[in-house]
Amino acid sequence: MRIKKNPVLRTRRPLLPPGARSRAAHLLAAAAGQGRFDLPCCTGCGRFAWPMPELCAACLSEVALKPAPTGATVISATTAEVPADSYFRERAPWRVGLVQMDCGPQAVVHLGPDCAPGDKVALSLMLDRAGQAVLFAAKKGQAMTADPQWHEMTANPRDRRVLITDARHVAALPLACALAKAGAAAILVGVPEDWKPLPTREAFAAIPGVSLLPLDVISDRSVEDLARDIGGKVEILINTADLPRPGGLGAPAAAAEARQAMEVVAFGLMRLARVFGPAMAGRGADGDKGAVAWVNVASVFGRVHAPGLAGYGAAHAAALAYGQALRADLAQGGVRLMTVLSGPTEDDWFQTFPQPKVGGSALANAIVSGLMKGLEEVVVGDLARDLLDRLAENPKAVERELAQGRF
């Protein structure tokens, strides 16, 4: 049962773990944010290293990230009762350990419960509250959701109050179901144009903890009114606002539809960020009741620009740009921004697109899974993953293929 906070007590100011890292170490943050276990590996002799070196210590060759085995053995374990750093002191006791990785190097890691010297553990590359990559060790197969140290590095929706901004999105209903199953304390769902019929209204009402609220992200007044009511209570915000309108630059309604998409997708995010962002960042250190994550559900066509989705892709590209500014603002309070890049969904507006498309349940499960793992970027759908892989390999080829209508 969720215990209400004493309103007389002061809300603590956000503190972050030490965040200084080398430029090369940010490659590890990118891997951790995508849920990959990649470690520095010498391109010459093939030795793994930790932490991120500028060059291989053995042969002075260049170092690049490479998928690595996750196994390790605990050499020593320590419980810090009075850590020197203020962030860890507030959360003491904090367990750390020295491990011998199966792939070679030794490393100091954050340690899960009941890990003793000699134990075999599995390593995870995770993001701490400062957004930096760290190693976490736990026994293989051990459930970590109740561990406070693991909890600090994830955004588990259990006992959290969650706002979903658009009930009409194809993933909104499955997402509400998935959040309820994950143990969310309250699920608030915004309904744009509340005067219109909502076919899924009864289905939402049947989910425990769900409340439907009027919210139009194209209206400053609507967003501000809702923020005044619940802005100080939202701990996870999932922005599902979207307006898919396929069409190229030469379509008769191209300008009008691009303007509408920009209002919903890009400026809608800006309106939400302006009023909900500071409130969430300010509550990043509010204990178990603090804000932990903001999720932007975006289209992969914001990164991979298809001529047949000119206005829609431009709106999502703008939203991704705004998202980087929002991530910087939220990071001051230790609140994580997770970007979800989805391929074409089962929405009627994507009817003519080739299969496979992304179903609402698949998108919802990916969002909840990403929150529970503490990720910064989640890619959903085979088409989206394929497009991003091809874009990284040969951007000009992807541009030519999309110009010919080949996805």
Tens-place pLDDT, residues 85-142: 888 888 889 999 999 999 999 999 999 988 999 999 999 999 998 899 999 999 987 7
* Section 308-331 average pLDDT: 95
pTM of the model: 0.92
Query: Mapping DSSP to helix (H, G, I), strand (E, B) and coil, where does residue 129 land?
Result: coil
Which of 3.40.1160.10, 3.30.450.20, 3.50.50.60, 3.40.50.720 is the CATH number of 161-403? 3.40.50.720
* Section 160-180 average pLDDT: 96
Q: What is the pLDDT of residue 2?
A: 55
Q: Is the pLDDT of residue 38 over 60?
A: yes
Two structure tokens written together for 404: 């010919």
* Section 172-198 average pLDDT: 95
Two structure tokens written together for 119: 């134990």
Q: Is the pLDDT of residue 227 over 70?
A: yes
Structural domain spans, the chain: 26-152, 161-403
- CA–CA separation, 276 and 329 (whole Å): 11
Q: What is the pLDDT of residue 140?
A: 85
Q: What is the pLDDT of residue 351?
A: 84
Dihedral of CA atoms 139, 143, 146, 147 in degrees, nearest 10, equals 20
Angle at 214 between CA 270 and CA 245, to 5 degrees: 55
Tens-place pLDDT, residues 336-367: 999 999 999 998 888 888 888 999 999 999 99
Query: Mapping DSSP to helix (H, G, I), strand (E, B) and coil, where does residue 172 land?
Result: helix
DSSP string, 29-48: HHHHHTT--EEEEETTT--B
Asked whether 157 and 368 are in contact (CB, 8 A), the reply is yes
- CA–CA separation, 231 and 225 (whole Å): 9
Q: What is the pLDDT of residue 125?
A: 95
Q: What is the pLDDT of residue 17?
A: 86
Q: Is the pLDDT of residue 312 over 80?
A: yes
Q: Which amino acid is at 91?
A: R
How does residue 8 score in pLDDT terms, banded at 50, 70 and 90? low
- Half-sphere exposure for 76 (CA within 13 Å, toward CB): 6
- CA–CA separation, 73 and 146 (whole Å): 23
Question: In terms of Cα–Cα distance, which of 403, 357, 361 is closest to 383?
Answer: 357
Q: Is the pLDDT of residue 7 over 80?
A: no
Asked whether 397 and 390 are in contact (CB, 8 A), the reply is yes
Question: Where in 43-93 does DSSP place strands (E)?
Answer: 63-67, 71-80
Q: What is the pLDDT of residue 348?
A: 86
How does residue 11 score in pLDDT terms, banded at 50, 70 and 90? low
How does residue 3 score in pLDDT terms, banded at 50, 70 and 90? low
* Section 365-380 average pLDDT: 96
DSSP string, 286-340: SGGGS--EEEEEEEGGGTS--TTBHHHHHHHHHHHHHHHHHHHHHHTTT-EEEEE
Tens-place pLDDT, residues 251-306: 888 899 999 999 999 999 999 999 999 999 988 866 667 889 999 999 999 999 99
